[in-house]
Amino acid sequence: MQAEEMTFREWCAKNPLANRHCDRLRFLSADLDVLQMVSPGGVNRLLRVAPEGAGNTTLATLFAAYYLDQNPRSVVHYFTYSRRMGEIGARKIKQYNPCLIKSDPDRVKGTSIHVSLCGSGADLTIVDSPFRNMQDALCPSIREQVWGALLENVRTRMNHPDRPILIFSPIYHEDDLIGRLVCPGECGEDWAKVYYPEGNRMFDAFRRKYDDA
């Protein structure tokens, strides 16, 4: 059955579990409006560049639940730095949308970014914190593994090339995943970017280097 059409902001306001995060969501109000633009025909590549503790996982899991609610036949793949945390993220998405548990729990799959998911391809792909911490992001071999995982495990498991990919992550190094993707045309794709907070010097440096090029 087709869900009632509503904006992401409206859905969060009506969802009792989302209301647990009402204080944080008020703080992240602008993000709700940006995520609203995500769709196969609209924004389909989005980077939310934000430090740890700035609501990345809250927004990622809430938006995934909203997307599933508004697109009843869609499948979401949720990737993060470890299999365990990926499974926890998938459970959160299901908790925000309990009907999924009863109808088709396989519409949400969560795992490590280093694992290739089997079965149904994704209509929405979310990569939430691909690095465990800064130490991992500063390791060249781990950076290469994460980059390879994006190309081999994430992009190849989409139902169609225009399906949205959202990445929520801090930026630790100019050659980490975010650092590479802020370069225009990297991967042959242009990514919309949301930088948080505006005053962070590292984010501002990347904006000057790439966005104004």
In the predicted model, what is the mean pLDDT of residues 169-198?
81
Residue, of 166 and 20, whose pLDDT is higher? 166
- Using a pLDDT cut of 70, give the percent of the chain over it: 87
Please count the other Cβ atoms lying within 10 Å of the Cβ belonging to residue 127. 24
Question: What is the pLDDT at residue 201?
Answer: 52
Q: What is the pLDDT of residues 119-172, one digit of tens each?
A: 889 999 999 999 999 999 999 999 999 999 999 999 999 999 899 999 999 989
Q: What is the pLDDT of residue 51?
A: 84
Which of the residue ranges 37-51, 86-100, 181-195 would you say has the lowest mean pLDDT?
181-195
Comparing CA positions, the residue from 17, 152, 126 lying closest to residue 74 is 126
Do you know the residue count of the chain? 213
Predicted model pTM: 0.88
Say if CB 192 and CB 46 are below 8 A apart.
Answer: yes
Which contacts (CB < 8 Å, 24+ apart) does range 12-19 have? 12/62, 12/66, 15/62, 15/65, 15/96, 17/95, 17/96, 18/62, 18/96
The per-residue pLDDT for 3 is: 67
Strands 45-49 and 76-80: unpaired
**Domain ranges, ordered by start, for the chain:** 8-211
User: End-to-end CA distance of the chain, in Å?
Assistant: 47
Q: What is the pLDDT of residue 206?
A: 52
- Protein fold of 8-211: Rossmann fold (3.40.50)
> What is the longest distance spanned by two Cα atoms in the chain?
50
Q: 198 versus 91: which is more confidently predicted?
A: 91
Q: How many helices (H) and strands (E) does the chain have?
A: 10, 6
The predicted pLDDT at position 118 comes to 84
Residue 63 host element (H or E): helix 56-70
